[in-house]
Chains A and B, each alone.
Chain A
Amino acid sequence: MSRNRFSIFHFIQLLIVVTIAFRLPLLGETVMLLFSYLLLVITDFRTAVNQCSFGVVDIFCSLFLLVGIISPLFFKRKKLRTAKPFSVSQYVAAAMLYVFLFAPVIANSNFDFQKDISVTRLLPPLSTVQSFHFNNEKENSGLLENFLSYKNEVVKNSFDAGIVFFDSLHIVGDTVSYFQNGMENSLLLSSLILKEGKPEVTNKRFLLGTDELGRDIFTRLIYGARISLLIGFCAALLSLLIGGALGFIAGYTGGVIDILLTRVNDMFLSFPIIFFIILILAFFGSSFLSVIIVLGLSGWMSLYRIVKGEVVALKNKDYFITAQQLGLTGTKLLLKEALPVIATPVIVNTVFQFGNVVLSESALSFLGLGVGDQFPSWGAMINSGQQYLSQAWWMIFFPGAAIVITLLTVNDFGRKAAQYFNPRLHK
């Protein structure tokens, strides 16, 4: 047991350091945004509440979490360091959770951001595009304007009128002519941000390329992780609640309820689940909530069986009968005797269920039945890339790789959990 091993905490530290190194300006602006927002809250509470959008809360949470995670990791290092055997899935899971939490900081652009499609569409990975900016500096007076200007910097919009992507540009006199995919346009030089008499040209790098609408695939991938994982958590939890509750009822009461529920369970098991999901989504429409509910409903069968089996076995165990006859209340019986025994197989199964849900969600999005166009989803990205297969392999490769890596990690976690809880499997 060497203590010098590269542990999971070092890995998280590394992630944080890399994030801070790349996104220091953004974090600085976020701190400024926070201060201006706090000033706004003190002076004009009603406006502050109106300005409080999801994006603002999201980036504040990211900032707080980043600071919150850093402090114990750097100050209480010795206590936290544990020597665990190296396992890749552990690191991938940590990285995925990190991406899930800090998506706005890592991505640093809106997932729907598109501008000048003729220049930016279907760019291969690692390509850069030149851009210049319009000169629209305004004097910031007043707290609200100050806050809004910071908000524009930090919370990215899906459209930015102040930026123009181009292929090449010439300066003739006081006009700038630039080419966009063969089309020539011209502008007055004075309307742009200048640097030494020339327009200031910045390079925007598209790490994983762009899709058919000129949107950055890297950003969409990161926000897609949020959608997939969130739906996975919620639907697996729903399955756990339904399966656990029904299984407990069936196992504990027995009799007619047991027979009835088991038959319903058989029916669900014998149904080809994808048709069931399609039927329900067709009837009730596909939205974020309906996808979660449908996927949760379609996964309760295995949990029901496991919980029921465990409860039936538990009812006849001596220690449980003793506990009952000692006069323990129902709540105590459930919490102290039943739950610890049932928990282990249920946890393992829920992990696998999580993987199944992620898979089903991406399959549904691929079929065009997912959460809809307003959210980027890995399956939907593959679906839109299908048409451009011969031109843009990156539109399919990266989301596909993300799905495969996620499923590999989740399955590996499930197996590890099963091994951990099952002493017979230790060899």
Chain B
Amino acid sequence: MKPARLLLSFVKRAASSVLILFLTVSFLFVLIRIAPGDPAQKYLSPRLDSSLIIKIKSSFHLDKPLYDQYFSFIKNASAGDLGISYKYHRPVKEVIFETLPFTIFFSLTAFILQFIGGLLLALLALRNYKKFWDKFLSGGSLFLYAVPTFVSGMFFVYLFSVQLKIFPSSGIKTIGISEENVVILFLDYLHHLFLPVLILSLAGLPVYFKYFRESLEENQHKLFTLYLRANGVSERRIIFQHLIPNSLNAIIAYAGVELGILFSGALITEVIFSLPGMGRLAVNAISERDYPLIIGCTLTAGILVILSNLLADLVRMKIDKRLIKGLLH
């Protein structure tokens, strides 16, 4: 594969991401415009002079034609300017960037745990193919899939925080802990984040387990595995060098779709444990009627999912060269 063609396929894939992003922003604009309530009214008390409305409207460019408003919205959104939060009286971008790193770290940790846990459990299930552990894990994953994050979250909080008093039920660190000793600080974070990460990982674990198990099982019954076995290749080598790489491709495509579900789980977990993440910011913004902040959070989450889908596709291209050809033709 020539580098130029590689670049072309990359640009094509990125262009479709940009198009979806553009559609998302336009969709947000439409939503904002059809929402009830005049934006100018929010700044105006009814006792003030009615001629002020015209002034405020022109200062917000609300008197301009709709397409002008649309273009300036796109321009501002692409520059990262999403207005000023009603509650914090600071630019939305700043407020979101304070909470975004935590959400990304939190979701990423849970994602890695889900992915690896799902793979390991699927391998365990396949080693005991159609025996007790396989059936137990399959049944357990079906059960776990039906347990919503907030139910399992409340259950774990009740068990570990209320009854056993092992883990704290909220917050990210102990109040008043000294910032100097890095080891203690790290352990404190770990202590506080253990339950949230566990709950968020448990929510997606059955999904990855199911994908991995189905995909590995399918590949196990293919002819190339039989051929490798007949040639006396060790089972370990078959699994790690042939079965897993062949299964990864489909699973990474699923992982991109599952991210939206991961974000909703992260949002609920953040609310349960009152963690300083973007999900809780968005939920709190609703009760405060902080519209710019809600729009900002939605857009940021959308961008994150689009980017990670792009990343997932690039990883798949790296794994499977046929996909690049598919994009070029």
Contacts and interface: CB of A to CB of B under 8 A. Distances in A.
A390 B162 contact: yes
A407 to B, nearest CB: 4
A80 interface: no
Contacts, number: 124
Residue with the greatest number of chain A CB neighbours at <10 A, chosen from B16, B28, B260: B260
B190 to A, nearest CB: 23
Most buried by A among B35, B146, B151: B151
Nearest to B17: A270
A281 B286 contact: yes
Interface string A258-301: 00000110110111111110111111100000000000000000
B147 A363 contact: no
A389 interface: yes
B254 interface: no
Contacts of A359: 148
Contacts of A393: 158
Given A271-B305, A363-B150, A368 B268 contact: no
A367 B271 contact: yes
B151 A389 contact: no
Contact of B148 (A270, A281, A362, A411): A362
Interface in B254-273: 257, 259-260, 263-264, 267-268, 271-272
B171 interface: no
Contacts of A386: 154, 272
B319 to A, nearest CB: 21
A270 B268 contact: no
A363 B148 contact: yes
- A interface, over-half SS: helix
Contact of B35 (A273, A283, A369): A283
Interface in B287-318: 287, 289, 291, 294-295, 297-298, 301-302, 304-306, 309
B172 interface: no
B23 A400 contact: no
B263 A400 contact: no
A234 interface: no
Interface in A335-362: 359, 362
A275 B282 contact: yes
Contacts of A363: 148-150, 264, 268
Contact of A270 (B151, B282, B302): B302
Contact of A284 (B28, B35, B287, B302): B35
A404 B35 CA distance: 35
Nearest to B257: A269
A76 B104 CA distance: 62
In which size bucket is the chain B interface? 35 or more
A272 B279 CA distance: 11
A135 to B, nearest CB: 45
B54 interface: no
A101 interface: no
- What bracket does the count of chain A residues touching chain B fall in? 35 or more
Nearest to A410: B146
A154 interface: no
Nearest to A411: B146
Contacts of A280: 31
B228 interface: no
B23 A267 contact: yes
A243 B304 CA distance: 26
Nearest to B260: A272
B249 interface: no
Interface string A89-119: 0000000000000000000000000000000
A396 B20 contact: no
B19 interface: yes
Given A271-B260, A272-B301, A400 B151 contact: yes
A61 interface: no
A371 to B, nearest CB: 15
A270 B309 contact: yes
Given A269-B257, A274-B264, A403 B151 contact: yes
29 contacts: A263-B23, A266-B16, A266-B20, A267-B20, A270-B302, A270-B306, A271-B298, A274-B260, A274-B264, A275-B267, A275-B301, A278-B283, A281-B286, A282-B289, A283-B31, A362-B148, A366-B268, A368-B287, A386-B154, A390-B162, A393-B158, A400-B155, A403-B148, A404-B148, A404-B151, A407-B148, A408-B142, A411-B142, A412-B142
Interface of B: 16, 19-20, 23-24, 27-28, 31-32, 35-36, 142-143, 145-151, 154-155, 157-158, 162, 169, 257, 259-260, 263-264, 267-268, 271-272, 279, 282-283, 285-287, 289, 291, 294-295, 297-298, 301-302, 304-306, 309
